[in-house]
Structure 1
């Protein structure tokens, strides 16, 4: 990652090799089927090997490739059980680990961002990275006043790598689509490309984090580290650490899973109303559980600005679906341009299509699970079912795309946790009109 401009061709070649690998394994699978092999078993093996190759390459390249992989990671729970193992292992690696950049590059970046005397700001600085991600890595250090801090340093040439990767992945989106049940690949890549430029400026991220840290400063459930210093390509914040959410997903007790799920849901639904921002990178690598039970939240590079909280049409849509009011729901969808012009869709089919968002709100406590999410993904993606035709009639206006993806992503992580969560009470606390008796119109 030291000289990305000269390595763009190599990165592109590695990404371009992914479709060839998938195609080759698919052809081999057909040959084994013709020879009498079990169709489902062979398909699962082909998909598992393709997933392993995909996420190994994405993790190695960092940049936009790794960012894309992290975005997919929240939907791991929707992957069929027979191939979930390879997915789960590869995706967990993507959430927190990537090859480190050379020490000389770290020093050069810190000198560029904080001046040649950057070392004077620290009592201690650990040369080995504590964590790495798509566009930067984190070092542990001690600030000059004695505070333990995390120093986030961006990879040199990150912007070019990010945009080049996402352009290449966009060209491959149709072939990669089967690897992500329940998520449309091309719109996801388009949205990532549009937002990554914002994430590359750590000053903007620092501003977002300061707002979250101030609002949740004395919160009994959520902890956000305070920002100590920031520059365009480097940032220093308090060092806080706990148990990674991916560890809870892998081997947590049911009580730990439920606790983590409740904290995650509480943060997702409260932030738009408390901070008027939505943390928009919900993969498990950005969350930890602290010894005191609070959830630590990091990485505020991607946010949605929501001055009035969650957009009212989305709240109203959920309310009409919960109250089984298909006619009102259809009118709202048409008025807000969710329905493509000239299309007619039965209200009952729309209600069924929205089940992933409404079903968890019908009971006091809802048990999220991989099986439930797989069922939802299969139902919507099955060409023989009416939900598939409904999805082709619907349009997602651009202003709602990010909120929709983040909410789906959060539900995906809750399903990875297999958590039982009082979601109705949590959502009702911040969106009381959902369950109010009066007509909101």
Structure 2
């Protein structure tokens, strides 16, 4: 038992620490009242309580029969209002909340469409800071007044994200650069915000038993410290440039290390349009299929060859431009978050893909288990990896082509009934898989925008990389040249079959268009 004197000292120490932390947070955030932890926590708790109450009192206690048109209309309205409340919370608390809100916008296979569409606003309308706040960070970190460093500095950011914003500037020596500056409030609020979100997720899981998003909290807690260190981002950029040094169409902006700190990153400025900007693509006469091929090759080699995967591939981070060769160059931006994949994970994931291509349920079950998914959930896992229905996987997704509108409508219609299974998969799967899900979904979204998905170009490239990854690893383990030759022949035969399937798909598509 502790003495009463010790308890008093302990209690007052906690109170003193809380006041000290609050004072530090206020100082770091220009004495903005919104930076106080208790204010942010209370705001978040009130929002979650209001959302939970709306579902409990207005939907669950309504007189409408579950599944009826009236029930579904009411549910859609509550989804929309709740999503707007959540969006307001993200925009007010900013920082980590924006980051999580953006991630929620990618979970269209789990969350209602009203949430996904509402949260997507955060990608293009993330809050920005005043120029004086940007200059404050630059002066603190670079130890010089911005006027001493820059010949010109565009006051309007060319890009604003959850944790930072980017400005175009010209250095005194005439070099045109992109200046990435961390939002001043992020560092002071990140730890409190993460703890708050953990409590809120537990509260939401109480209101909605099927709400199993602890994995999202765990991943955010692990990833945010990496993304807040711009020196690590600079090292990632140089690493990916070295890994792909032989690919002439990939561009990674050069880092200016003399002007780089954990909160400031200055790099070469690269011209280009966003990968989903169809007007830019048409105006510059860039072939969208060339873009799809190169994206497929880039991300497939990251996953299956190098095990080092750029994990924030939303359109704002991928630029395209017409090259002097006449084809397109791809510029990769924002290297703050990478998934580092183990050899074992890559081997199991590649084999899981091959089992899907072969329609082999036995090996699907085997390799899904190796990736953390037990029992009959291997089918749900396969659907989430491919973005296809189980019927399509059984028919053969290589020959079957891409998902039709009817297939997507069926998937969305059945979403409420399969949501608990999806949540279980996300809660159980190997943690390395979570960023792969995000990468797969966003690449599919880019292909859909480019209208290249019907020819499955990225799918073909990824499948070839997958095959090469599996058989290259098998060759390494061979003890004789004869065994290596046998595996090499099987590898070539598998690639040949894949190409025959793909040619068949193209001819079938062409024949249908000709009718």
What's the C-alpha RMSD, in Å, of the aligned pairs? Answer: 4.2
1:259-338 to structure 2, matched below 5 A, reads 261-272=292-303, 276-291=307-322, 293-306=328-341, 308=343, 311-334=346-369, 336=370, 338=372
Query: Gaps spanning 5+ residues in structure 1: where?
Result: none
Cα offset for 1:150? 1.0
Match status 1:69 vs 2:98 = no
CA change 1:339–1:29 in 2 (3 A) is closer
Counterpart pick for 1:145 among 158, 166, 173: 173
Match status 1:125 vs 2:156 = no
In structure 1, C-alpha distance between the alignment counterparts of 2:429 and 2:462, rounded to whole Å: 22
Match status 1:25 vs 2:54 = yes
Cα offset for 1:317? 1.9
Bigger CA radius of gyration: 2
Per-residue deviation, residues 98-118 of structure 1 (Å, max 9, x unmatched): 332233322221122212255
On the 8 A contact 2:159/2:166 being kept in 1, the answer is yes
Relative to structure 2, which stretch is displaced further, 25-34 or 197-206? 25-34
* Corresponding residue number in structure 2 for 1:39: 71
Indicate the structure whose relative CO is greater, using CA pairs within 8 Å and at least 6 residues apart: 1
Q: TM-score, normalised by structure 2?
A: 0.69
Cα offset for 1:68? 0.4
In structure 2, C-alpha distance between the alignment counterparts of 1:236 and 1:279, rounded to whole Å: 19
Per-residue deviation, residues 321-357 of structure 1 (Å, max 9, x unmatched): 32233333434444x36245xxxx35xx634641343
Match status 1:208 vs 2:223 = no
Match status 1:113 vs 2:146 = no
In structure 1, C-alpha distance between the alignment counterparts of 2:137 and 2:220, rounded to whole Å: 25
More helix by share: 2
Cα offset for 1:21? 2.7
* Corresponding residue number in structure 2 for 1:406: 439
Counterpart pick for 1:233 among 263, 270, 282: 263
Q: TM-score, normalised by structure 1?
A: 0.79
Aligned residues: 423
CA change 1:368–1:238 in 2 (3 A) is farther
* Corresponding residue number in structure 2 for 1:397: 430
Query: Gaps spanning 5+ residues in structure 2: where?
Result: 1-28, 472-488, 495-515
CA change 1:209–1:274 in 2 (3 A) is farther
Per-residue deviation, residues 121-151 of structure 1 (Å, max 9, x unmatched): 3221123322221111111101233232110
* Corresponding residue number in structure 2 for 1:242: 272
On the 8 A contact 1:101/1:155 being kept in 2, the answer is yes
* Corresponding residue number in structure 2 for 1:382: 417
On the 8 A contact 1:368/1:418 being kept in 2, the answer is no
Cα offset for 1:427? 0.9
